[in-house]
Structure 1
Amino acid sequence: MEIQQTLKFIVHHHNRRRKESNNTPKLKWRNIFSSLKKSPPSSKPTETPPPPEEFICPISGTLMADPVIVSSGHSFERASVQSCKDLNFTPQLSDGTTPDFSTVIPNLALKSAISKWCHASSTLPPQSPNQSLTDNLVRTLIFSSSSSRENNAVGERDTTLTTNPSCSSSSSSSVESIATSASSSTPPAQLTAKPSFCYSSPSSSELEPITPEAEEFISKLRSNQVFVIEESLQNLRKLTRTNQDSRITVCTQRMLSSLRGLVASKYKMVQVNAVACVVNLSLEKPNKVRIVRSGLVPPLIEALRVGSPEAQEHASGALFSLALEDDNKTAIGVLGALPPLIHALRVGTERTRHDSALALYHLSMVQSNRTKLVKIGSVPVLIGMVKSGQMTGRVLMILGNLGCGPDGRSAMLDAGMVECLVGLLAGSGSVHGSTQESCVAVLYVLSHGGLRFKAVAKAAGVVEALEKAEKGLGNQRAKEKARRVLEIMKGKEDEEEEEVDWEELLDSGLSSRSHDQQQDGELAG
């Protein structure tokens, strides 16, 4: 019995010491750490907030590095728009609208907002995407949308830079490669956004028919060998110079896309022949709007600005031809053609100056372009050319258009236009008849400037100059304009000004404004 009791005591004492040993500080900390490893974290680490939806390109699904606004008002990454235009693909957005890529303008306000958000959220600013990768993404969208439509799949899907399980293995690998490249240059926060869109592939009616002849040209223009491209451009230039039907049949979006890259070529003859081909294609009225919408105006402007003299001649001719279409006038001005045209008008070759003057004349028929020309300081430059006898007749036509707007009239009065015109009319014996008529037309436009014009014209001697020139004017319309200017200068308005009756002066100003609008309409006609 004593032995049994002794054994029980020893066992009980050993178990108690074992329990106490498990509560030592070392084992306590070991238990705590092991429990922390096993238990999930109580709170998630702080993450970078996702960017606002308006900062995300609807096509690429990434933060925009170079946002642009298109004609329909939507904003996209520039590379995405370029790829869609090159591949003749028009996406349908989630709200059911379809963007219009005809005009592309930099969205500087959105770009600044994206930059500020990146700085505030400690996010790396986005980098411009690789154009070839963007092309692959758009091709994947075209393939996936067409395959899903064939399989009667749902029309809407989430489009991101990650793998899309609804696509085939080939399309998925393309998207994965794009995501890999994009992730190396963009922060992970960009990949968290998943805008949902419904894309529609071009239908058979939207695909332009391409003749075998045009297909052969396009194939050679996209060759890697320069001599093949040069030979193809020379043949295309020769064909479109004489064959009117060919100018229409070969002017497809694929052809224009091929020419767009060649217009910007560093090879002199490639650029010259490419621009000449654009000039020939622009001769047909149905092609004019199509050429502008294809994105060819910016490379044409660049060729006019820094190209060879021969390339500048063709570029100015192309812009002049495209400016004949009313639907193109505003777009060409918005895309930045006015400053290079003014520069070419001053320092270009004779042919470049001639076509630049005609392009500026037609572009200045639009009020928005008139305002731009005044803001860039073209009025003093044009008046200086008139005084020096450079392109006098053409330049006076441009100034006549600028005078149709109040800002243009004010700038011309400030720059001494009235004195310049009086000087030309005073030497009518040595001035061509058409130049005299242009002088009278510009004076007639400036006469709508009110009291300021009267004061300046009186000091410059307009009445004497017009009375002398009126007898030699052969154009009846020019004589009528001269007579109206003289009536303004000699009319009852002078007596009313001496009485300084401000109420009558105000009433006459309002009535003259409506009269000015009517006369401006006659000028435009």
Structure 2
Amino acid sequence: MGRGKHRWKILFYRSQSALKSESKQPPKEFVCPISGSLMADPVIVASGHTLERICVEVCKDLGFTPILPDESKPNFSTVIPNVAIKSTILNWCRANGVERPKPPELSSVQKLACALMPPEKLTFKCKMEEEESEEEKISVSVEKEELLKGVAENPPVKFSYAATELNRRPTHFYTSSDESVITAIPTTPLPFATRPSCYSSSSSSDNVTDESLNPVSPEEEEIVVKLKSLQVFDQEETVISLRKITRTNPDMRVPLCSNRLLSVLKSLLISRYSVIQINAVASLVNLSLEKINKVKIVRAGIVPPLIDVLKGGFPEAQEHAAGALFSLALDDDNKMAIGVLGALPPLLHILRSESERARHDSALALYHLSLVQSNRSKLVKLGSVPTLLAMVKGGDLASRVLLILCNLAACAEGRTTLLDANAVECFVGMLRKKELDSETTRENCVGALYALSQGSLRFKVLAKEAGAAEVLREVEERGSERAREKAKRILQMMRGTGRYHEDEGEEVDWESMLDSGVLSQTRPRLSQNESVANST
């Protein structure tokens, strides 16, 4: 044997097709949690989940609510097409050269749903499908027996050479050294172990994470039992107590926010008794103050009844409903769901409410919801721009409404609609009057002008006609630091000089802007009480 040491060098090769397929894995939000496949017809349900339509229809038809991979349960009471996510999926497919997704077959979804159901909850349809599959197996076995009989009657033909060649596999792997590595490779192929993404080795009834098996606190049990009472007095007394507990004892908000309690509160939101409805919505606001509860509340199907309260509930309950939607909209995971479920029109309507508190919370809810592109598009299509501009001109909630307009101006369709509605003249006129209620309103007004100025040659013409340069120079001299910075950038853009001018094709040094912190100052200003909901 030689004294020299052999250096092993094992090379791994990966085909381009494998690398290409990995790069085409769809984002998690494009995949249905039930079928595990790319969604062809996504819908959003009352709980905020986005699922494949046929999966929802099959589950509703079977009367079955599956437990999703995140251990939550969807609420199928409301089903709305999710046009935004469908468009995003199609754009992703085109960009990645992926074939447009097709809905899964009805039979396969039915079998999957039946497989996920616990045995004691199998419906008649599932049992019928099982019997049909058993009949298919029997017919297949009969065909096999007939084939075997036919083979027995005829002499077998041996293809020993062919069988030998087919079963031969390389057992030597060569490396860069002169030695070879001998390994034992099984001749039988490995079985596939693919399962749907929502598969669980145990049935939903055996899932230890299910709240029905978790210990229930005595406080929660007592509250739930009394809220389910048929006596109106017991319900009123208990819901008042629940409101007080969730307001004065923040530590109880998370333990009490269970699916059982939320289910009972959901039914009380549409109560015809004012005391019950008002205190139920107020309790919900208090529960939603904890960040961990926000998504859970939406997925419990609370948003649709809250919308019903906004549309026709008692006045005080409407105030709390607007506050609840504002609080829930603070979580990014809820923004799209709340918009899709139809909260935008009633929130716009509440802006005209006689209650200042309802108007305040509604405006803040719309601001946070309009941070999402799909909701911005909906607001523009709802014709909200003229209404919002009229409120700004009238001085009603000017600072908060300007926040919404800043978000709408961030999208092309919103910017065009605002320019068509003479928003530039409106904002310049507000700055010229010098009668704004606060410096924050002035900053947001300049911020709205800055948002309108982005990528728009038309803005220059309208700003010049409105005499914006003179007003902005005054803001640049006497305004707050934030207002001065934005006014300066608008003036540079109007003059066609400086790094902020984009319309003439000049290159923008984005990295230096990020390093200097300029971009971080472009978002409209929120006061502390505008970014946090309050208990009721």
TM-score with structure 2 setting the length: 0.62
Cα distance in 2 between the residues matched to 1:506 and 1:279 = 50
Equivalent residue letter for 1:462: A
- Aligned position for 1:125: none
Alignment check: 8 A CA contact 2:82 2:340 kept: no
Return the letter of the residue paired with 1:73. E
The 8 Å contact of residues 81 and 101 in structure 1, kept in 2 or not, is answered as: no
Partner SS, residue 56 of structure 2? strand
Work out whether 1:90 is the aligned partner of 2:67: yes
- Structure-1 residue corresponding to 2:485: 480
Kindly report structure 1 stretches of 4+ aligned residues shifted beyond 6 Å.
Answer: 97-100, 161-166, 512-515, 517-521
1:293 aligns with 2:321: no
Matches within 5 A, 1:90-239: 90=67, 101=74, 105-107=79-81, 142=118, 144=120, 159-160=124-125, 200-207=204-211, 208-239=214-245
1:323 equivalenced with 2:312 (yes/no): no
RMSD: 3.7
Q: Secondary structure at the match of 1:201?
A: helix
1:449 Cα deviation after fit: 3.8
Contact 2:117 2:204 in 1 (8 A): no
Alpha-carbon distance in structure 2 between the residues aligned to 1:368 and 1:165 = 43
In the TM superposition, what whole-angstrom CA distance separates every residue of 1:181-202 from its partner, at most 9, and x where no partner exists? xxxxxxxxxxxxxxxx996325
For residues 346-380 of structure 1, the C-alpha deviation after alignment (integer angstroms, 9 at most, x for no partner) is 22411100111111111111111111111111111
Alignment of 1:226-375 (within 5 A): 226-375=232-381
Name the amino acid aligned to 2:522: L
1: CA distance, partners of 2:293 / 2:335: 15
Q: Distance in 2 between matches of 1:317 and 1:470?
A: 36
Identify if the C-alpha distance between structure 1 residues 255 and 162 changes in structure 2 by more than 3 Å, giving closer, same or farther: same
Alpha-carbon distance in structure 1 between the residues aligned to 2:75 and 2:484: 44
- Tell me, in whole angstroms, the C-alpha distance in 2 between the residues paired with 1:256 and 1:440: 43
Residue 489 in structure 1 maps to residue 494 in structure 2? yes
Answer whether contact 1:323 1:359 (CA < 8 A) is retained: yes
Instruction: Give the counterpart of 2:52 among 55, 73, 90.
Output: 73
User: Taking structure 1 as reference, are residues 106 and 364 closer, same or farther at Cα in structure 2, changes over 3 Å only?
Assistant: closer
Task: Give the AA of the match of 1:312.
Answer: Q
Q: How far off its partner does 1:412 sit?
A: 0.7
In the aligned structure 2, how far is the partner of 1:506 from the partner of 1:81? 59
Structure 1 gap ranges (5+): 1-57, 59-66, 110-137, 146-156, 167-196, 497-503
Equivalent position SS for 2:79 = strand
Q: 2:406 is matched with which residue?
A: 400
1:255-296 residue CA offsets vs partner (Å, 9 max, x unmatched): 101111111222222111111110110011111110001000
CA contact (8 A) 2:336 2:369 kept: yes
Q: CA 1:524/1:73 → structure 2, altered by over 3 Å: closer, same or farther?
A: farther
| Cα pair 2:455 2:503 within 8 Å, conserved | no
Corresponding letter in the other structure for 1:426 = R
Unmatched 5+ stretches in structure 2? 1-33, 35-42, 84-113, 132-198, 525-536
- Pair 82,371 (structure 1): closer, same or farther in 2 beyond 3 Å: farther
The structural deviation recorded for 1:469 is 2.8
For the residue of structure 1 that corresponds to 2:241, the secondary structure is helix
Please state how far the C-alpha of 1:90 moved relative to its aligned partner: 2.6
TM-superposition CA deviations, 1:196-242 (whole Å, max 9, x none): x9963251233343201101111111122221111111111111111
CA contact (8 A) 2:285 2:320 kept: yes
Contact preservation (8 Å) 2:431, 2:445? yes
When residues 359 and 158 of structure 1 are mapped into structure 2, their CA distance, relative to the original with a 3 A threshold, is closer
| Structure with more helix by fraction | 1
1:365-514 alignment runs, 5 A limit: 365-429=371-435, 431-473=437-479, 475-492=480-497, 507-508=505-506, 511=507
Aligned equivalents of 1:364, 1:212: Cα separation in 2: 41
SS at match of 2:74: coil
Q: TM-score, normalised by structure 1?
A: 0.63
The answer (yes or no) to whether the contact 1:365–1:401 under 8 Å persists in 2 is yes
Deviation at 1:244, TM superposition (A): 1.2
Question: Residue 281 and residue 82 in structure 1: after superposition, are their counterparts in 2 closer, same or farther (change >3 A)?
Answer: farther
For the structure 1 residues 239 and 521, does the alpha-carbon distance in structure 2 shift closer, same or farther, using more than 3 Å as the test?
same
State the alpha-carbon separation in 1 of the partners of residues 62 and 434 from structure 2.
54
User: Aligned partner of 1:304: which letter?
Assistant: L
Aligned-partner residue type, residue 450 of structure 1: S
Is the alpha carbon distance of 1:470 and 1:229 closer, same or farther for their aligned partners in structure 2, counting shifts above 3 Å? same
Distance 1:82 1:244, change over 3 A: farther
Q: CA deviation at 1:77?
A: 4.1
Query: 2:315 is aligned with what amino acid?
Result: P
- Displacement of 1:102 after TM fit? 6.5
The C-alpha deviation readout for 1:91-146, integer Å capped at 9, x for no partner, is 89xxxx9996278533599xxxxxxxxxxxxxxxxxxxxxxxxxxxx9x965616x
The letter for the 2-side match of 1:101 is P
Q: Is the contact made by 1:90 and 1:201 (CA closer than 8 Å) also made in structure 2?
A: no
Partners of 2:477 and 2:421 lie apart in 1 by 28
SS in 1 for 2:205: coil
* Equivalent position SS for 1:299: helix
Amino acid at match of 2:51: S
Q: Partner of 1:41 in structure 2?
A: none
- Structure 1 residues 141 and 282 mapped into 2: Cα distance closer, same or farther (>3 Å)? same
Given the superposition, is the C-alpha separation of residues 419 and 91 from structure 1 closer, same or farther in structure 2, using an over 3 Å criterion? closer
CA contact (8 A) 1:239 1:246 kept: yes
Q: Per-residue deviation at 1:457?
A: 0.7
Q: CA deviation at 1:321?
A: 0.7
- Identical positions, percent: 46
Bigger shift: residues 359-368 or 429-438: 429-438
The 2-side partners of 1:412 and 1:513 are apart by 28
The 1:215–1:431 alpha-carbon spacing in structure 2 relative to 1, beyond 3 Å, is closer
Please report how far the alpha carbon of residue 492 of structure 1 lies from its aligned counterpart in structure 2 after TM superposition. 4.5
* Closer/same/farther in 2, CA of residues 505 and 416 from structure 1, 3 Å limit: closer
**What SS does structure 2 have at the residue aligned with 1:160?**
helix
2: distance between equivalents of 1:142 and 1:342?
A: 45
Distance 2:275 2:61 in 1: 29
| Whole-Å separation in 2 of the counterparts to 1:426 and 1:456 | 16
CA–CA distance in structure 2, aligned partners of residues 505 and 213 of structure 1: 63
CA shift, 1:513, in A, is: 12
The amino acid of 1:106's aligned partner reads: I
Secondary structure (helix, strand or coil) at the match of 1:453 reads helix
Q: For structure 1, which segment, 157-166 or 239-248, has the greater mean C-alpha deviation from structure 2 after superposition?
A: 157-166
Give how far 1:334 is off: 0.9
Q: Give me the whole-angstrom Cα distance separating, in 2, the residues matched to 1:455 and 1:226.
A: 64
> How many Å separate the matches in 1 of 2:449 and 2:82?
40
- Summarize deviations over 1:147-172 as a string: whole Å, max 9, x none: xxxxxxxxxx7851878999xxxxxx
**8 Å CA contact 1:68, 1:77 repeated in 2:** no
